[in-house]
Homo-oligomer: A and B are copies of this chain.
Amino acid sequence: MHLAWKLWLETEGKVFGPGPAELLEHVARSGSLRKAAGELDMSYSKAYWTLRALEDRLGFPLLTRPVGGMSGGGSTLTTEALDLLTRYRALEAEAEVTLEELFAKHFG
C-alpha cells in the first residue's frame, strides 16, 4: 500500500495545479504555446483558453505576447508566471518528501 496525493492552489475555485504547471513548463521549454499544446496532445485552442481563464483568476499575464499575438511568433513566460511555477514546484517537491515521511510514520 502506498500514499497518493494531489495538491493545487485555490482562490474561489481551483486556480493552479499539475495541469497548468505542466503546460507552462512546456511553453517555457519550447518557446511556443502551439508546440506546448502539441506535446501534451491538447488542441491549441484548449491550451489557449486554459491559460486565458487562468490569467483571469490569477490577475496577471502568464505569457508575453510578441508581435503577432499569442498565436503568432512565439511565447515565453512572464516573470510572474515563472515565479508562480517555481514556487509551486518547490512546494510540491517538499510536500512529496513530507507526506511520504508521514505515511511511513503511520503505516510503515
Per a CB cutoff under 8 Å, which of B5, B15, B91, B105 touches A6? B5
Given A7-B4, A10-B4, A99-B106 contact (CB < 8 Å):
no
Number of interface residues of A (CB under 8 A): 26
Across chains A and B, which 8 residue pairs bring their CB atoms closest together, nearest first?
A5-B7, A91-B106, A87-B106, A4-B10, A6-B6, A98-B98, A94-B102, A4-B8
Q: Is A46 engaged at the interface, CB distance under 8 Å to the other chain?
A: no
- Copies of this chain, how many? 2
Closest Cβ of chain B: how far from A105's Cβ, in Å? 8
What are 30 pairs between A and B in contact, CB < 8 Å? A1-B10, A1-B15, A2-B9, A2-B11, A3-B7, A3-B8, A3-B9, A3-B10, A3-B91, A4-B8, A4-B9, A5-B5, A5-B6, A5-B8, A5-B95, A6-B7, A7-B99, A9-B107, A87-B106, A90-B106, A91-B103, A91-B105, A91-B106, A91-B107, A94-B102, A94-B105, A94-B106, A95-B99, A98-B98, A99-B99
